[in-house]
Structure 1
């Protein structure tokens, strides 16, 4: 958040302004990532007051926490057409002293607005495939046919959009849905949005061409985008996409992982220019280069190749520089393919790629000597849940055991340090040995999703048992029995003015959309009509919004797609560590089949646990002493097979051997 840093320096670190604040108000600085409930309520108030919102959010409250004045960035003195912070503070103080009733009455009106805005919507519209079609149409209309992505600058990656479009393609065969997705993923990686030396995606692009990023790196972006590229790989089988996944996960493992296993939250966009002056911070200082620095680090031939490949220019290459921070600096982006560089420099492609690899290694090592961006080392359950999913699913598709180990270590840490066994509740944040703040819907939903993915990757029943346990607690704490859907908070903290029910799938999916998808997946894994009914009522609650604003509810459309499909139940009879089990599942994971569940009938505790929900699973067994696949829809299963080729043919619809109904 560029303006957050600016306001910190200009306003809150200004002794004169700080003195006024201490005299006139009680100042509370809230980390929106620790307390999204606080942020959500007052952001709604700000949008109601001003017609827009954003961060930094500056909100003035009455003693009983009712908002009466709000703004985003407020400068230290009047400029940019905005009043200065001291002027606003002084004026508010004057009104508070001379006409307090005016403020109290306005605060009460805003509270009433918030209650009305969060009231249960009585309209119910059953969502149908029409919502999926409207979602595709909406994304098609906003697609940038020149530079890819959706809308204009600034351009944010929205993995929920990729989730939906790939499923729409899978369901309908609509090639445009696939191409919009793939081209956007390609452009994002090729641009300055991606860290071409260290891996990982920056927060967003300030321009329409993906070249000039806001350099912050967020855990939730790495987690979701790793899955986006992974799913693109499952469809295309192009190494480009799997290589991006590996690079992102390598970055997370190296720089965003706590020694005990969980994942940190973010790295700042700013860092110090001078190691001797840590306050000399500047946006992108860690990531940008002068031509002179590059030439001093690389050999002459490496420099020539590197400059051609990454668009390096003597006077800098930033096409957009709204704050004048990148003059003379280069933001690395892929300007030419290896083949184009080879042709321009009369070299072989192999030689070019060798020189690119050696150059990146040297510059990465040189960059490591710079002052590092600040690491936000808090551990959030919600974002860790997303990252657990990414590592677990990468293990399924790419077969790297270290990915599974990373997912399991993070999940085990959360259950050990951030989960109260007695109360069956999650704590939202962990930092420096302290676990704090009540878990919210998104914590339960995202972590449950991670546990479901971890079960399907490891086939260890304990992860599924935990997912079911957390789902039951989530229902107790958050469900709206009257209207449908889930509240974002439990309601135990009475200082929060209203209980909201988030429906927007933005940079992160909403807690509701993931909670609904979890219910649908678990319903298939346990044959639970109760979970199906809860999911159906929740989809009904959000149905009208899915039809009228589908692009804003992209992950809800993913859940809707699952609910409208006939999910495959893929049951493997065998041991989790049997190589033949792995061979059978490899056939599953090489294909993009989003609407499926995987169960293991292991002949032991896992099978007995599953059979307590689905009794027929007691009869599922290996055939001929080999791990055996049962591929089912609505628990009507094809005849079992241990042959990998037959599994592939069944999945591809090439053969439909006589089946039996086991349900």
Structure 2
């Protein structure tokens, strides 16, 4: 192949150079085209829903055929499409597609039932045999998706999976200084016999798979329940066609073949007894597995992925009312500010490993970190995180925003070796920078009452009109921003001291509700309220009611009468 390329270059040099120039010119033209002719309105949301419905797998969850990727941005869109009109048939079906997919993924082998977290994708349609790599960006986005599901349904199974992911990241993917590592590899060493180093080799999933003999020896009398529940078989349990290289012959990739209720019925025990037995078995296997050689840890700390993870921990702190998660998010944000941000130049840097790299941040680094900081502000009401988010947004706008046609270029244009500035127009395993930035701008425009930010949001969404009109499901996260932009801006402002029990009770009620198009602010009569009040006159006037912390529920800062009782607040939030 290389010889043929070399021959072609030698014999057809001028023609190849000419064709290369034409390709670059076409790409450059595609990036300079203004707003498309397609109309950007709620009909696009409906079109995207229908596209996703057509590719939905009603038997196994997910979208399309194998291999199956989690693609959390799709789930984000579906839950928000549901929230637009929860009583409509399409809204209910959108929610069921998201929830069923989340349940099937959690039950599948793509989910690490022993150590927590999710592998990268499934090679089959059943979510059973994964590519065993674990990526930080998947953990962050999936944790957020399970938190959304828990907020909507109040079903503890979704809380359990969210905690499972977050606890895995806190234990295995977090540096001593607080930053989050990037990934764990799929492969790890296999030792066939202890004391026989000549038989060491590396294999996909070696750290995670089990023989039935290993499980039965470890669990004793409890093995029958575990084997039944997780589909453990003597000859291995990889489905036909999912193991073309015969790597998993005799090996088991744990998958929940039965529900707790089904397992309880089979063994004539209570669901509580079965749940306790399985939990004890998982703990035993976790201890045994910990002695195996671990997969290689990619210990780079990438700004963008850390932003996603900060967001997940901050949201968990709110939804699950867990201070530990807030502390983890705060430590990570402090790490980023200390190690990946230059105060003098206001620049964010891409990554850190034994020191900061010289690579300046890309648009997604800024967008994802801003999102994380906004969520951390809402989790902590520490106004310093809001100020930091605004600083980064200003730098992102200066370096990456296309003033002429809208949207954000992926790179700043400083590197002369990159001869073409492109805008990412696909929300894939990670969302596009422009999609996340559009949502950030919407939130910031309300917080700061900033019309320029609101206009920048509109231009950013309009920049992708052609993609959204022709294939809207390519950008589900941009559709989340579009949905937000088509709705009346909604705010909940809590007037009261942050640590007062009455304030906490009001916030706990707020966090019980799935409110994806609502910002949450604290008017605590201190520096935070003063800062917010600089640009927002309504917040300056918000105060306690008869000496009690009060909640103001507002649309575009036109507020209903404040309430001090959490139950009354709950009723207002249902409207």
CA 122–346 in structure 1, closer or farther in 2 if over 3 Å, else same: closer
Matching of residues 73-84 of structure 1 within 5 Å: none
- Identify unmatched segments of 5+ residues in structure 2: none
Q: CA deviation at 1:431?
A: 0.6
Moved over 6 A (4+): none
- Answering whether residue 314 of structure 2 is matched by residue 392 of structure 1, we say yes
Q: Do the aligned residues in 1 keep the contact of 2:505 with 2:566 (CA within 8 Å)?
A: yes
Partner of 1:24: none
Q: CA deviation at 1:357?
A: 1.5
Partner of 1:656: none
Partner of 1:465: 387
Partner of 1:280: 201
Q: CA deviation at 1:119?
A: 3.3
Q: Distance in 2 between matches of 1:143 and 1:277?
A: 48
Q: Which of 477, 484, 501 pairs up with 1:555? A: 477
1:126-167 deviation line (CA, Å, top 9, x unaligned):
410001111111111111111111111111101111111111
Secondary structure in 2 matching 1:482: coil
Q: Distance in 2 between matches of 1:250 and 1:214?
A: 21
Q: Do the aligned residues in 2 keep the contact of 1:192 with 1:333 (CA within 8 Å)?
A: yes
- Answering whether residue 175 of structure 2 is matched by residue 258 of structure 1, we say yes
1:443-501 deviation line (CA, Å, top 9, x unaligned):
00000000000001101110111111111111110111111111111100010121001
Q: Distance in 2 between matches of 1:539 and 1:140?
A: 23
TM-score by length of 2: 0.96
- Identify unmatched segments of 5+ residues in structure 1: 1-87, 654-663
Q: Distance in 2 between matches of 1:202 and 1:91?
A: 39
- Bigger drift between 577-586 and 120-129 goes to 120-129
Q: Which of 145, 165, 168 pairs up with 2:78? A: 165
Q: Which of 309, 322, 341 pairs up with 2:263? A: 341
Secondary structure in 1 matching 2:494: strand
- Bigger drift between 111-120 and 519-528 goes to 111-120
Partner of 1:136: 49
Q: Which of 120, 123, 128 pairs up with 1:211? A: 128
- Answering whether residue 225 of structure 2 is matched by residue 305 of structure 1, we say yes
Q: Distance in 2 between matches of 1:549 and 1:542?
A: 11
Q: CA deviation at 1:97?
A: 5.1
Matching of residues 61-460 of structure 1 within 5 Å: 88-96=1-9, 100-173=13-86, 174-274=91-191, 276=197, 280-299=201-220, 301-319=221-239, 320-460=242-382
CA 623–513 in structure 1, closer or farther in 2 if over 3 Å, else same: same
Q: Distance in 2 between matches of 1:428 and 1:366?
A: 37
Q: CA deviation at 1:561?
A: 0.5
CA 122–133 in structure 1, closer or farther in 2 if over 3 Å, else same: closer
Q: Distance in 1 between matches of 2:288 and 2:34?
A: 57
Q: Do the aligned residues in 2 keep the contact of 1:269 with 1:284 (CA within 8 Å)?
A: yes
Q: CA deviation at 1:118?
A: 3.1
Q: CA deviation at 1:416?
A: 0.6
CA 303–472 in structure 1, closer or farther in 2 if over 3 Å, else same: same
1:223-281 deviation line (CA, Å, top 9, x unaligned):
00101010101110000000111111110000000110010011111111128469721
Q: Do the aligned residues in 2 keep the contact of 1:397 with 1:589 (CA within 8 Å)?
A: yes
Partner of 1:619: 541
Q: Do the aligned residues in 1 keep the contact of 2:39 with 2:469 (CA within 8 Å)?
A: no
Q: Do the aligned residues in 1 keep the contact of 2:340 with 2:356 (CA within 8 Å)?
A: no
Partner of 1:565: 487
1:313-346 deviation line (CA, Å, top 9, x unaligned):
0000000212221111101000112222233233
Secondary structure in 2 matching 1:436: coil
Secondary structure in 2 matching 1:632: strand
Q: Do the aligned residues in 1 keep the contact of 2:119 with 2:134 (CA within 8 Å)?
A: yes
Secondary structure in 1 matching 2:201: strand
Matching of residues 4-19 of structure 1 within 5 Å: none
Q: Distance in 1 between matches of 2:472 and 2:20?
A: 33
CA 488–348 in structure 1, closer or farther in 2 if over 3 Å, else same: same
1:532-553 deviation line (CA, Å, top 9, x unaligned):
1110111111123212111111
Secondary structure in 1 matching 2:175: coil
Secondary structure in 2 matching 1:571: strand
Q: CA deviation at 1:574?
A: 1.2
Secondary structure in 2 matching 1:118: helix
Q: Do the aligned residues in 1 keep the contact of 2:116 with 2:165 (CA within 8 Å)?
A: yes
Task: Please give the root-mean-square deviation of Cα atoms over the aligned residues, in Å.
Answer: 1.6
Q: CA deviation at 1:628?
A: 1.2
Q: Distance in 2 between matches of 1:639 and 1:416?
A: 42
Q: Which of 498, 505, 513 pairs up with 2:420? A: 498
Q: CA deviation at 1:610?
A: 0.5
- Bigger drift between 92-101 and 355-364 goes to 92-101
Partner of 2:573: 651
Q: Do the aligned residues in 1 keep the contact of 2:538 with 2:557 (CA within 8 Å)?
A: no
- Bigger drift between 226-235 and 290-299 goes to 290-299
- Answering whether residue 514 of structure 2 is matched by residue 597 of structure 1, we say no
